[in-house]
Amino acid sequence: MMLYLSRSHFPVTTLGPGRRIGIWFQGCSIRCKGCVSADTWGTGKGGVSTDEIMNVISPWLQEAEGITISGGEPFDQPEALIHLLAQLRSKTSIDILVYSGHPFEKIAPTVEKCQGAIDALISDPYDENAPQTLALRGSDNQRLHCLTLLGETRFRPFERALKPSDKTFDIMFEEAGAIWLAGIPRRDDMRRLKTILAKEGHLAVTTQDERSTKGKIYDSPCP
């Protein structure tokens, strides 16, 4: 099964409990205003088979405490998502959290087809005008759904206000020089980062800015 993938990484510690495998789908039809992951919007690129993805992440499964799938928009590739989840479930019983910008009511039929593979899901589009006070969410309109007993155990504790310890990022470096930030930034975090770097003589262009082919700092995922 073909899937359009932006990237995968381990460990991710900012998108759910424990050391997690992060999988970011490529392509998003929602394109929320203010999204910090505009690099994941484009469709038709990053095509890989789900078998290839499994080959990459399988060595991580013994150490991982959970898996987070985001994007991009995973439910824009429903069949690929279902297939990948089935493959993951055949290899591991650790929790799986999925982010979607669609309302839960819209994607519920696809969630049902996943046959319990998703333990928790965060739904609804990012709203840059909504408050930003809840754990694991980019804006307070987004809803946390605990779909299994494991999901209830692992994620119900995140039905709470942000703590100072939540306001962190995972930093990933690519050989080409790009830097990826995994986590859920506060509204002005990227602006503050660029200001700090500018004072040190560095230029940073984020995916909230006009797109460039060089010198990018990408921040991910789209909440």
Q: Are residues 177 and 76 in the same domain?
A: no
pTM: 0.83
Q: Are residues 175 and 148 in the same domain?
A: no
Given a cut of 60, whether residue 208 has pLDDT beyond it is: no
Q: How many C-alpha atoms does 137 have within 13 Å on its Cβ side? A: 29
Contact between 21 and 68 under an 8 Å Cβ cutoff? The reply is yes
Record the tokens describing residue 200, joined without a space.
Answer: 């040190």
Q: Are residues 134 and 182 in the same domain?
A: no
- Domain final position from 122, 146, 164: 164
Q: Are residues 201 and 127 in the same domain?
A: no
Given a cut of 70, whether residue 147 has pLDDT beyond it is: yes
Q: Are residues 170 and 92 in the same domain?
A: no
| CATH number, domain containing residue 116 | 3.20.20.70
What pLDDT score was predicted for residue 189?
59
Q: Are residues 107 and 7 in the same domain?
A: yes
Q: Are residues 65 and 142 in the same domain?
A: yes
Which residue range(s) make up the domain with 175? 165-220
Q: Are residues 22 and 89 in the same domain?
A: yes
Helix, strand, coil % (nearest 5) of the chain? 30, 25, 45
> Band of the pLDDT at 217, cuts 50, 70, 90?
very low
Encode pLDDT of 151-169 as tens digits.
999 999 999 999 988 877 6
Which of 28, 29, 27 minimizes the C-alpha distance to 44?
A: 27
> Band of the pLDDT at 197, cuts 50, 70, 90?
low
Tally of domains within the chain: 2
Q: Are residues 44 and 8 in the same domain?
A: yes
pLDDT mean across residues, the chain: 86
> Band of the pLDDT at 193, cuts 50, 70, 90?
low
- Domain final position from 147, 164, 181: 164
